[in-house]
Structure 1
């Protein structure tokens, strides 16, 4: 009897351990659940322990444990995203939770193919007790509109008096063959961080203490991405950069607390409100008082209409120490939320955090899908500095009276549909869900997943019914096309006008029209994101390429300025040469050397032109690598191209490769830093997944893109081909898969058979594979890439000479390239191309330390 009692007691204790074992150490009712996890415990890539969901299901009938058929390279971890719980009928999870506090509920979704189910059929609702979280929700549509592979929905739930949180997944009855699914569930107890918020432009306050909320955005303004493990109070929140949401060219300046500033939370404020890193960084308007008086710092967010939102602004003065030095007004949706905001008047001291909550109701009129937050200097208060400051920003959706938080499924923008149609990559086709993140190269979580994709409207959709809310969701790469104001264009024109003094030629509009026969369509030789490219003739017989922006739009102003300024200062044999520009009557036109043989891509596939021989392909790759290497090392600051692809590698009449299109280029960190944090821009199929995930751009981002180019060259197929089986759609993913399976030779262009020396081919493929490593530190530098390609060329040209002779000749070619690069610096070049020679120890260590190449 005693034995049986002991066994029973042990079983009870074991059961309790299993259940509570999933609870985080931060709270007795925390759960980190990987749904459909085949084993009871799994670890993600950050060391977090995830538990299986099976013990929390009320019934496993009509549910399926499934594994995704495809692992998107953007996934931050295999757990929880590669396993899923599929529901074919309403099914409920039950979690024992405290009745004394709110809880964060996070639902993780990775829309992919599970158990041969079509991801486009996943329409479902989700309820948390009596709160509607999602209704007729399609994760597939959301992921496509957001160009994200995975995303997270986060909610703040009220204390549950019953002590039991029921989460119910219900397939939609309105869609034939629908099912529900979820990849991960997190439940985290949270302190009460919500107080009554003032309704803008009124004297009323909105008490959200008895309302469930949904987190829409959580931004570290002026700062970097903050991972869940770095959040305060074990709340595991994620804080994203605010850069994607800034409107217009005037984005202010960012700064961090210096070593003399210590952040000290006031006694009445919990550290759980926001982590230290949020208050340690800020965005301000900049030092130009005359300019600052006439513009706002503005952020724009896309939201669901017919809901009230809480806008939480975080402040901490890091520089000034007197009242009335920095005073500004706060506007939410063009309504005054706060007049004469003075952070020091609130906190009485530098380095002391505070926050303010404002409530706003977003109506359901035409175009009412945006929420604007703007800061403007309070000129009437005559502060010492005409400036504004913000450290953090959060936006929460407040549930309706019937406890509903569900919005409508997003609608892809006209821009996205047109661009993807042009690329023959249709977002409406089923079974392409796994492509989304691979195409984009990566994804982030809830806040960026909700709105990184819009920033600008090309066209508002009108006259939609209530079941189809008019939205304009743009993919990340369209952030480069935000509409610029007239004042912005004027400022750019003024800046460019200074370049007339000898750095490059300034063309009149009349000259350009004469050269292109008044922009005759017969002269068009290409069309890009900026506009059309014309062949022209200047100076009585010199052929040129003339790139003209769409004259009906001021989009691309910053790209225009970037390209002209960069190319006017850089001179290199393997960079396209800028001849001049025109910015008359609102036109944005750039004039280049004419490249007689067009783009590299048109000589590889989808063209009637004869296939390039292998040796010529190799020399073209070497030329492009030399151009990129010069950008990375030929100036005091690294220049990161950010849009390396085969259409941006041009070929002149002698087949010399020249890197082109510098509109997205970014001046990178100096030699003592390793990255620059910036908005993600680039082209589908070429984006560095690490850059996409972290928004941290490095020279290794160009290396990744160039690795895709190398595979295009050797495989003679596009970086993306949606007509192929899904595992082959992304060339980079397909190459890695073939390499793992040991049949990489099967994807090499058949035209190259018999042309390539085996050792040369081996070195080329090995170099390309290293370039597309998932993590930047694992990739070679562009200098290493160039050396390896030079080495491969020597193996091709002298197959009997042996590796030692090939190394010697590769070294000679590399040294000659560096010397020529130094001699090719134009007068306006940023000064330190000599950095390459000053860092000769690094260069020559590459020559003599061949191990590991």
Structure 2
């Protein structure tokens, strides 16, 4: 019995030690703003406290006069408290956050169009600007079923992050349920990537100066990864609906320790829960399967995209046995990738590769892995653990069209002037008429008017000739 208690106590000690160790290793951002919009009280989600933005709170960061809070008409079962309230804006409004740690920041906007007897959130339509970046245009807040979380990554070299909400029309309004502004790890977005331009591979410079919108974050072969299990509080969804052909693929799970290395992928780049599962192609005999694993992701046209592919060899029985090719948009992006070589000859050590591609007119980005000319029988011939796809800003610094932020901000004043100008013109016309009437009245008083005589006597031609002769003489 004593031995049992000792073993139980030791297990608890180990659990406590590893928990404490994990907490010590967890990422702690210098800038960490979590806002519970429209709420009068703070709310805790995934062990993080979202602060109320009410006027009584010193940490509201809200800079606007024409806003009000809105509460859900009925409680939403299973949803975090932050989706039970919203901040509604009737005119252009903004949140302002001081920046202590310049560099890449993550901005997440939470939206949920819940039911309310006071206001129909379905009538919302608005634009969102973040430090001059056009993040959203004519947005209606998502659907009524599930909350929508939109994540942006942008380089912040100023002292503030300003998030502006601009109603599309005077009859519309904007709203938001919650906001996150977090300084990102320095290794999350590096300076360079490989630009896959057709069959050419070129170096793309200045990647960390771009702005991104996360379109897809997928864990391959594994279950959903929730923010609670990610050091940057991200959500990774399963890959099943994006896998084009599952024939020839095998899922694999790893119960050991993921070995992160300096200079490689960190836990902030990808968590253990992504790297400890994968899909792979495996030779069952001496012949190498003639098949690729391909995933398809619908995207918007006329943008560049950052495609990040995550790899971790959790399936090979020995080093130096895994070689495979990587394809992006059906172009060979990485030939004969040897994970042993790029991870300093260590199994279960994560690696990721960044590629920049043009969406073109197809509206689809494809990623594939498959055997290479160096692949061997009786071994793993291809593997993929995760995929991220992020839209990059265009030439007018927008992620939502070709209209720059300056024009969007001018739309609202122009609409106001459009109403005032006719009123001003009418007032000027009335003043002019009044002045004319007053002037005529004044002239009448200076020069009195008299009636012309109507009793003029007629004279004969003879009399007229006589009067004329008298004047001449």
TM-score normalised over the length of structure 1: 0.41
Flag the structure with larger Rg: 2
Equivalent residue number for residue 50 of structure 2: 50
Partner residue, 2:179: 185
Q: Of Structure 1 and Structure 2, which has the larger fraction of its residues in helix?
A: 1
Aligned to 2:70: 66
Quote the Cα distance in structure 2 between the aligned partners of 1:291 and 1:334. Answer: 24
Q: CA RMSD of the aligned region, Å? A: 2.4
Partner of 2:125: 123
Of structures 1 and 2, the one scoring higher in RCO (CA 8 A, sep 6+) is: 2
Superposed displacement of residue 306, structure 1: 1.0
Question: Aligned pair 1:76/2:110, yes or no?
Answer: no
Conserved? CA contact 2:219–2:236, under 8 Å: yes
Map residues 779-818 of structure 1 onto 2, 5 A cutoff. Answer: none
Mapping of 1:90-101 within 5 angstroms? 90-101=92-103
CA contact (8 A) 2:114 2:121 kept: yes
1:360 aligned to 2:369? Answer: no
**Contact persistence 1:98–1:160 (CA under 8 A):** no
Cα deviation, 1:394-426, whole Å, max 9, x if unaligned, reads 111111122111269xxxxxxxxxxxxxxxxxx
How far 1:90 moved relative to its partner? 0.6
CA offset digits 1:303-335 (Å, max 9, x no partner): 111111111111111132556523221111112
Separation of aligned partners in 2, 1:113 and 1:177: 19
Map residues 333-732 of structure 1 onto 2, 5 A cutoff: 333-347=329-343, 348-363=345-360, 365=361, 368-378=362-372, 380-384=373-377, 385=379, 387-406=381-400
CA apart distance, 1:290 = 8.8
The correspondence for 2:155, drawn from 148, 158, 170, is: 158
State the distance in 1 between where 2:47 and 2:101 align.
Answer: 29
CA contact (8 A) 1:292 1:386 kept: no
How many Å separate the matches in 2 of 1:223 and 1:25?
Answer: 23
Residue 230 of structure 1 is matched in structure 2 by 229
8 Å CA contact 2:286, 2:376 repeated in 1: no
Equivalenced residue count is 364
Question: Are residues 301 and 25 of structure 1, via their aligned partners in 2, closer, same or farther at CA, if it must alter by over 3 Å?
Answer: closer
Partner residue of 1:204? 202
Which residue is equivalent to 1:705?
none
Q: Deviations over 1:615-636 (max 9, x none)?
A: xxxxxxxxxxxxxxxxxxxxxx
Separation in 2 of the partners of 1:157 and 1:216? 15
Shift of the alpha carbon at 1:373?
0.9
Q: Deviation string for 1:559-581 (max 9, x for gaps)?
A: xxxxxxxxxxxxxxxxxxxxxxx
Aligned partner (choices 276, 288, 302) of residue 272 of structure 2: 276
Aligned to 2:5: none
Matches within 5 A, 1:750-769: none
| Equivalent in the alignment of 1:26 | 28
Q: Does 1:267 align with 2:251?
A: no
Distance 2:76 2:331 in 1: 43
Contact 2:299 2:365 in 1 (8 A): yes
Aligned mates of 2:43, 2:319 — CA distance in 1: 53
Secondary structure of residue in 1 paired with 2:309: strand
User: Is structure 2 residue 257 aligned with structure 1 residue 256?
Assistant: no
On the 8 A contact 1:321/1:344 being kept in 2, the answer is no
SS at 1:338's partner residue? Answer: strand
2:296 aligned partner: 300
CA–CA distance in 1 between the matches of 2:48 and 2:208? 31
Hey, what's the Cα distance between the residues in 2 that align with 1:407 and 1:288? 49
**Separation in structure 2 between the aligned mates of residue 114 and residue 67 of structure 1, nearest angstrom:** 7
Asked if the contact 2:319/2:346 (under 8 Å) is kept, the reply is no
Change (3 A) 1:251 1:227: farther
Unaligned runs of 5+ in 2: 1-25, 55-59, 403-473
Find 2:134's aligned residue among 127, 132, 155: 132
1:331: which partner in 2?
327
Q: Deviations over 1:571-630 (max 9, x none)?
A: xxxxxxxxxxxxxxxxxxxxxxxxxxxxxxxxxxxxxxxxxxxxxxxxxxxxxxxxxxxx
1:42: how far off?
2.3
CA–CA separation in structure 2 for the residues paired with 1:28 and 1:178: 36
Q: 1:247 to 1:90 in 2, by over 3 A?
A: same
The 1:63/1:275 distance shift into structure 2, 3 A limit, reads same
Q: CA deviation at 1:258?
A: 4.1
Question: Do structure 1's residue 219 and structure 2's residue 218 form an aligned pair?
Answer: yes
Deviation for aligned residue 1:124: 0.7
3-state SS in 2 of match to 1:381: coil
Contact 1:321/1:349 (8 A) holds in 2: no
SS at match of 1:65: strand
8 Å contact kept, 1:95–1:166: yes
Asked if structure 2 preserves the Cα contact closer than 8 Å seen for 1:282 and 1:389, the reply is yes
What is the deviation of 1:266? 1.7
Does the 8 Å CA contact 2:282/2:380 hold for their aligned counterparts? no
Q: Secondary structure at the match of 2:228?
A: helix
Residues in 1 aligned to 2:148 and 2:284: alpha-carbon distance in whole angstroms = 39
Corresponding residue for residue 16 of structure 2 = none
Q: CA 1:237 to 1:407, structure 2 compared with 1: closer, same or farther past 3 Å?
A: farther
1:42-79 CA distance string (max 9 Å, x none): 234x44321112321112x2211001224444x531x2
- 3-state SS, counterpart of residue 214 of structure 1: strand
Deviations 1:810-838 (A, max 9, x none): xxxxxxxxxxxxxxxxxxxxxxxxxxxxx
Q: Deviation of residue 383 (structure 1)?
A: 2.2
Q: TM-score, normalised by structure 2?
A: 0.72
Contact 2:131 2:163 in 1 (8 A): yes
- Over 3 Å counting, the alpha-carbon distance change for 1:152 and 1:386 in structure 2 is same
1:65 & 1:189 partners in 2: Cα distance? Answer: 28
> Cα distance, 1:32 vs. partner?
1.2
Partner SS for 2:251:
strand
**Aligned partners of 2:347 and 2:53: how far apart in 1?**
47
